[in-house]
Structure formats: structure tokens, C-alpha cells
Amino acid sequence: MWYEATIADVTAEQANHLPPGVAHPIGELAAHILHTEDGMINMVILGKQMVWERDGWGAKLGVPLMMDQDTAGARAFKCHPQQLQEYAQAVFAGTAAFLDSLTPEDLDTNKVDMTAEGVGVISLGNFLTQMLLGNNYAHTGEISALKGMLGRKGYPF
């Protein structure tokens, strides 16, 4: 998976390095990717509580939810991506179970209302590719670029 492979060699120092400008640290981007996937699958699609809340990950890890954090909060966030590994596994397992439950028809006929976010009503297939995968790819790209700025290889390939 892109996320896991991109953050696998990130050190705590690199994860919490505050980049210039308004860019978010690698650790915050890692948390944001996971929190957003958890929220998109569980809250938005399934109408359930996030794994983060249901299983008490915030208390276990001692870090805030980074789904909709402002720039100041995001830049202040401190966390090593490896701290998030068990939570990541829980999120990815939930996503895999959900995807395994779908039929090809579900991707076209099921709708997701994203009107509040200015997107409108879209098919589940579009939501999964544009919103869910798009978020993961965009932010792993940011992580990769930040790793490059720190003299490290960005993507693992």
C-alpha cells in the first residue's frame, strides 16, 4: 500500500520536522490520511462511529483527531507514524471488509451525498476513487516531497 510503504522508513525526527511555510509535518499528514479514511468509510458511508472513537485510539495514542484540523493545529501536531501502526491496521482492515462486501453494481447505484462539502451527490465508485484514494495519494505525495526535502527518497519505488 502507498501509505505504508511511503512512511515505513520515516524517523521520529523526520515525522515531527516542521517544514517551512504552511506545510504540515509528515506525522500530521500520516494521521490525517488514517483519520480521513476512517471517517469516510465509517461515518460518511456506513453511518457508524469511527474506529478512532469506538476503540479509544485518541486516548491510547494521546494525539488529537487530525481530520479537519486548522493549519496551526496541524503544524503543532507531534507523532511518529509508527505509533499509528495498530490504528492503521484497524482502519485498513475495516476498509477491506467494506470493499469486500460490495458488488460491482453498488459502485454505480449507491450514492454518497457530499453536498455539504460542495461536491454534490456522487456515486459510491466516484467517492471511493476521487475522495478516498485521492486523499491518500495527495497526502502520500506530500509526505514523499517532504522526505525529499530532508534528503531522503520519497516514494519507495
SS (H, E, C) 77-140: CCCCHHHHHHHHHHHHHHHHHHHHCCCHHHHHHCEEEEHHHCCEEEEHHHHHHHHHHHHHHHHH
The set of residues, in sequence order, having a beta carbon less than 8 Å from that of 139 and lying 6+ positions away, is 29, 32, 33
> Residue holding cell 490525517?
32
**Per-residue model confidence (pLDDT) at position 2:** 84
**Per-residue model confidence (pLDDT) at position 68:** 83
Residue 10 reports pLDDT greater than 80: yes
Q: What is the pTM of this model?
A: 0.95
In whole angstroms, give the CA distance from residue 119 to residue 103. Answer: 24
**Per-residue model confidence (pLDDT) at position 48:** 96
Cα–Cα–Cα angle for 106, 111, 112, nearest 5°?
125
> Residue holding cell 449507491?
110
- What burial letters (b/e) apply to 115-154, b meaning 16+ CB within 10 Å? eeeeeeebbbbbbbeebbeeebeebbebbbebbeeeeeeb
Contact 128, 96 (CB under 8 A): no
> In the structure, what pLDDT confidence band is assigned to residue 74 with cuts at 50, 70 and 90?
very high
In whole angstroms, give the CA distance from residue 94 to residue 116. Answer: 25
Architecture field, domain 2-149? Up-down Bundle (1.20)
pLDDT tens across 115-136, in order? 999 999 999 999 999 999 999 9
Residue 46 reports pLDDT greater than 80: yes
